[in-house]
Structure 1
Amino acid sequence: MTSGATTLKQPLTLPAHHSTSGIFWKTRTFENIWDTWKDITFKDVYKWASTRKSHCVKGYLMSTTTPTAADFAEAFPPYPVDWKALANPPSDAIQAVWVGHSTVLTQMQGLTWITDPVFSERASPVQWAGPKRVTPPAFTLEAPALPRLDFVLISHNHYDHLDRASVKSLHARFGEALSWYVPLGLATWFRAEGISNVRELDWWEEARHPSPDGSSVRLVLTPAQHATMRGLWGPNAGRRQTLWGGWAVLGSQRRFWFAGDTGYCTVFREIGERLGPFDLAAIPTAAYLPRDFMRAQHVNPAEAVRIHRDVRSRRSMAIHLATFPLTDEPMDEPVGELRRQAAAAGLGDEEFVSLRHGASIVTSGGVDLVAPVTLSC
């Protein structure tokens, strides 16, 4: 596969989600292929941004539109990371720690990896403006007890999922021994940052990553309904010039799935049929209001429950919540709404949970070894 926004000199037969754009020359772009997708224009974004109330921009809670740092800490109390457990992960189970937002530290089959590492104060190209954290990450990348990471999974290039400072810190700590798996087009960005141990995949493509015991896990980039853009300059920064998706990590005994960022569409049933069932899934549950604007790109808790069932996940943990104020719903609303929607769908009490920052979930064939510590709001 060719990295970056490839200039096409002659017509090619492209996969359905590949496209071309440009007037004087054609560049590769990507498309959503489901009728549930609605393209968002700059006019739509401007209209939404201009009508947002200040408390939406800063983040608010159901109990108050002007929360303090203490209010957020009470709503989203952190949980101490169990470093001893991370140093001695179970050999026959999946162990995952929710760091915050879409960042999950996961261990399986002797491997340790992290999804969409974002540790900066703001999800933004600059640290003096943009969505600011209301809750700190469960740990810092300088934590002495942080286990050696084997690889990183990136879902797409939005700033709340791909953070330059965090990428640079991980590379500084682990060097070229750390592998990066990214969707098509993103390798150019990483190489511009001095990182060469990067592999990009298309939807349904897979790579194998070796395990310490001589075995390996399969890494599959799974489709999602979303989009990409990263400012107005830089490698492949334009609209949909890089791909997006989730990741399945398939081991010899256990299966993990990270949804990335997505709206609801029919592809999740296909993911479940082709790659499931999963022992543990990380599924977004927040950033869904206003609904007419967010529906195509972000699921709400009811749709997250549908995804949980579609992909045939035995246990799921909520992500993409309680960290950055991105949209218009109260920041603690998704927790209670997920609980209500899960109960209405007949899920067990601990089948789909919202963890506290720093809490872990350990699952083996659908049976908990350690009960997760859940948010109660």
Structure 2
Amino acid sequence: MKRRSLLKAVSAATVMTLGGVGYAAHRRSTNPYYRGPSSDHFDGVRFHSPDQAADKNLTEVIRWQLARAGEPWPASLPSPFPADKPPERVDALRVVLIGHASYLFQVAGRNILVDPVFAKRASPLRFAGPKRANPPGIAFADLPPIDAVLITHNHYDHLDGPAVARLWQQHQPLIVAPLGNDAILRGYDETMHVEARDWGDSVDLGGGVRAHLLPANHWSARGLNDRRMALWCAYAITSPWGLHYHVGDSGLGDGAIFRAVAERFGAPRLATLPIGAYEPRWFMKPQHMNPEDAVEALRLLGNPQALGHHWGTFRLTDEGAERPAEALAAALAAAGRPPESFLALRPGQVWQG
């Protein structure tokens, strides 16, 4: 690898080592991924959320790292569920967690992957960065024909470029991503076609299924100098089955983004929400919900059935591997909600609606 490429990769690995929320310098004054008109969430160089907290600075990152007393993870955390072998097509809705924040959604005869990560590390490097604690809940070779791939944002635990390139080469799916991520993805296969869209846009996935890009309280970076230069999003997926709201990563903020979903679409039938990578709270709260926040988001959405992800596969932050599931159980009890109303999914686990 050339020295310049190696430095870029090491910088990106450093971002992931800091839990996807590391310090990112703002030296770059041009955007390498996207050029477009300014808007209420784009200043011509960087994107921002309506509820965007101030970026963490280097002093805060050092403070976290020096005081870090994270709970150790086991080297392996196998799922109690066997790897799934999905049917070729499903008429209603079938959901499988592949691992961390990667899902297969099968609905109305369409097969949709969201943030498919099959890599052994959430990192640009094979020898450094957060390592998988369990294998994918669906083997790549056992995937059904893939019609669409939805990307929420470009952090390495959500955007696995080689995996998306392999999916493109084998399945030719419709690939949907927020603005700027198309340029990143074409770096892995220049023939790849990506429908890059802004918040408020929607894309027809066929079969009466449509993906609507919505705001999330998060950010983006592939390295140390491209913070917030590609957009991030949540998805509302409308289909003959009903509304399914999916968040890859987000902070709760003031709850406005969740209330807006219910106001625009009505209460979803299903919400898939992140519940992990939340400690320490003083550092993580603006961009990562904890289970208590996720239960509050569920209330704002109108209390649909919920499934939890973003835990138990890659160690990104300080909480222990099993703490998100335990904290979710406690938050549900405190809210007077039954345990089955919000399941902390494990790789290979199937939910059908």
Which category of TM-score, normalised to the shorter sequence, fits these structures?
A: 0.7 to 0.9
Which residue of structure 1 lines up, in the alignment, with residue 192 of structure 2? 196
Deviation at 1:52, TM superposition (A): 2.8
Classify 1:78/1:166 alpha carbon distance in 2 versus 1 (closer, same or farther; 3 Å): farther
Report the AA paired with residue 339 of structure 1: A
| Count of aligned positions | 320
Identify if the C-alpha distance between structure 1 residues 39 and 361 changes in structure 2 by more than 3 Å, giving closer, same or farther. Answer: same
1:86 paired residue number:
87
Aligned mate of 2:304, from 308, 314, 325? 314
> Any idea what SS the aligned residue of 1:96 has?
strand
C-alpha distance in structure 1 between counterparts of 2:152 and 2:210, whole Å: 16
1:46 aligns with 2:62: yes
Task: Using the TM superposition, give the Cα deviation of residue 39 of structure 1 relative to its aligned residue in structure 2, in angstroms.
Answer: 1.8
Spell out, residue by residue over 1:262-304, the C-alpha distance to the aligned partner (whole angstroms, 9 max, x if none).
1112211111211232122110001000100000010000000
Aligned to 2:144: 147
- The question of 1:248 aligning with 2:236 is answered yes
Q: 1:264 aligned to 230, 243, 252, which one?
A: 252
Residues 52 and 328, structure 1, Cα contact 8 Å, conserved in 2 = yes
1:77-115 per-position Cα deviation (integer Å, ceiling 9, x unaligned) = 3312453x62352x2x21100111000101111101011
How far off its partner does 1:17 sit?
Answer: 1.1
* RMSD (Å) for aligned C-alpha atoms: 2.0
- Matches of 2:156 and 2:97, distance apart in 1: 19
CA offsets 1:40-91 (integer angstroms, 9 cap, x no match): 12332233234434x65xx42xxxxxx353xx33xxx3312453x62352x2
Q: Pick the aligned partner of 2:335 from 339, 345, 369.
A: 345
Q: Is the 8 A contact 1:178 1:197 kept in 2?
A: no
Higher-Rg member (1/2): 1
Of 155, 159, 175, 1:158 maps to: 155
Instruction: Give every structure 1 segment of 4 or more consecutive aligned residues whose post-TM-superposition deviation is greater than 6 Å.
Output: none
- The TM-score normalised by the length of structure 2 is 0.85
**1:298 match: secondary structure:** coil
In the other structure, the counterpart of 2:15 is none
1:327-338 matches, within 5 Å, as: 327-338=317-328
TM-score normalised according to structure 1 size? 0.80
Structure 2 counterpart SS, 1:114: strand
Match of residue 101 from structure 1: 100
Report the AA paired with residue 138 of structure 1: G
Q: What's 1:301 paired with? A: 291
1:17–1:88 distance in 2 versus 1, CA, 3 Å: closer
**Is contact 1:184-1:202 (8 Å) kept?**
yes
Q: CA deviation at 1:34?
A: 1.6
Q: Matches of 1:82 and 1:227 in 2, distance apart?
A: 32
Unaligned runs of 5+ in 1: 21-27, 61-66, 364-377
Question: Counterpart in 2 of 1:32?
Answer: 49
Unaligned runs of 5+ in 2: 1-30
Q: What CA distance in whole angstroms lies between the structure 1 residues aligned with 2:158 and 2:180?
A: 15
Q: Deviations over 1:145-180 (max 9, x none)?
A: x21010011010001111122122212321xx3111
SS at match of 1:29: coil
Name the structure 2 match of 1:208: 204
Q: Partner letter of residue 86 of structure 1?
A: P
2-structure distance, mates of 1:48, 1:223: 28
Partner Cα distance (1:50, 1:126) in 2? 24
Where 1:299 maps in the other structure, the secondary structure is: coil
Separation in 1 of the partners of 2:176 and 2:32? 13
**How far 1:131 moved relative to its partner?**
0.6
Q: Residues 347 and 195 of structure 1: is their aligned pair in 2 closer, same or farther, counting only changes over 3 Å?
A: farther
Do 1:226 and 1:261's aligned partners in 2 also have CA atoms closer than 8 Å?
yes
Q: Secondary structure at the match of 1:30?
A: coil
Distance 1:204 1:231, change over 3 A: same
